[in-house]
Amino acid sequence: MRILARYILKEFLPPFIIALICFTLMLIFNDLFRLTKLFVQKGVSPLYLVELLIYVMPATVVLSLPMAMLVAILLALGRLSTDNEIIAMKAHGIAFHQLMLPLLGIAVVLSAADLMLIDYALPQANRAYASLQRDIRRHKPAFILEEATVMKELENEGKLWMYEFTDAKSGRMQDVKIWDNIWSGRPRFSHAQEATLGFEGGRAMLTLYNGLTYEPETSSLDDFRITKFQQQQLALQLTEDLERSAVQNQNPRSMRISQLKTFIGTLKSTLHTSTNPDYTHQKIRSAEVEYHKKFAIPFACLALGLIGVPLGLMVKHGGKMLGFGIGLAVIVVYYLLLQVGQNAGMNGMLSPPLAMWLPNIVIGVFGIAFTFWMIAEGKIHAWRDRDNKFPIVVGTKAES
């Protein structure tokens, strides 16, 4: 049994490492193109781009590790099936479960490694990534002012703003709109006819001219207090030079499992005193989805392992390419279910636990069904072949 386990591990590791590198690079390239555009607009050092990609790495590996494991299982077993080594193993009395247990053991180990990565490395990387990206977006905003476009540099601080066009004579921005405190559930809106953007002491200052400010009343969300102004200055957290700020921990994605559990409990305890229960409910659902996601993704290794072993043993013709194609198809189905479940959990259509565990349940059920089918098929073949064995003929010497 140990010899078989070492042999299967030897077949598994090379395609797993190659698949892990390939899937990680594919996922990183998506962030690379998006971040490169930001860096060209902001004109900051490429070293910050490298730093951001390092912070992206844990989140990328968390997703690519289950994918690489499934593809490696299919490629390894596909190679053994194509070279008739599976038939040879069966001929020597090696049962299906003896082939499956080493690979499921690998899946359990990878699930534990993925869970540790999610709970330890990912929160720190997400906090550092969000902090650096926020600092970069604050850098030199005048370089990326676009007409009729919502500026999202300060979205994390709860501010959005835009202007329609720039007056050719005065150089002032026209028809300026600003949304403030957007994450509080009680946003404030300002609308000015004109505005100018400048820097005072290295900090951005937006000066508004001839406008109105709408603020929600504390007693009712449907009532607003309207304030008219001729000139008003609004300090923006934008800097002329890139300044590094302290890492903050406000996003559920940047929390460890224990911190997120405490955060959810705190939200539930303040629900009955909240002035905006719907918004609080939405935050609770979002946090619970993220909480269960931290467990569901690592255990995808086990679910994909359950379906990967029987599928890999079914590959008899086509070899590695067929196994790779089957693996990609299963991966697409899994992450499509994951995205659908996440959206359903956020919208309240499904409970957060069911929404995030749904892909594992679906893939796991199919994997168990395929496993029982493979075991039953082997017993059926053995029963059918019991009468097809050649009889043993004992010869006797003829007497003369």
Whether residue 250 lies inside any domain: the answer is no
What domain count does the chain have? 2
| Domain identity same for 85 and 189 | no
What tens digit of pLDDT does each residue of 182-216 get? 776 678 888 999 988 776 665 677 888 999 988 88
| Domain identity same for 78 and 201 | no
User: Domain range holding 194?
Assistant: 145-239
- Tokens representing 258 are 């224990």
| Domain identity same for 132 and 149 | no
Do 375 and 100 touch, CB atoms closer than 8 A?
Answer: no
Domain stops at, among 188, 223, 239: 239
Whether residue 22 lies inside any domain: the answer is yes
| Domain identity same for 8 and 132 | yes
| Domain identity same for 39 and 128 | yes
- The helix/strand count (H/E) of the chain reads as 10, 5
| Domain identity same for 168 and 100 | no
Whether residue 266 lies inside any domain: the answer is no
Closest CA to 240 of 336, 317, 140: 140
Instruction: List the alpha helices (DSSP H) in 270-318.
Output: 277-296, 300-314
Quote the pLDDT of residue 271. Answer: 79
Do 309 and 270 touch, CB atoms closer than 8 A?
Answer: no
DSSP lists the bridge partners of residue 216 as: 224
For the ranges 94-103, 128-137, 258-267, the maximum mean pLDDT occurs at 258-267
| Domain identity same for 162 and 187 | yes
| Domain identity same for 222 and 322 | no
Whether residue 333 lies inside any domain: the answer is yes
| Domain identity same for 118 and 218 | no
Residue found by looking up tokens 């386990």 in the block? 5
* Confidence (pTM): 0.67
What tens digit of pLDDT does each residue of 328-353 get? 888 889 989 999 999 998 888 889 99
Do 71 and 324 touch, CB atoms closer than 8 A?
Answer: yes
Closest CA to 186 of 219, 231, 161: 219
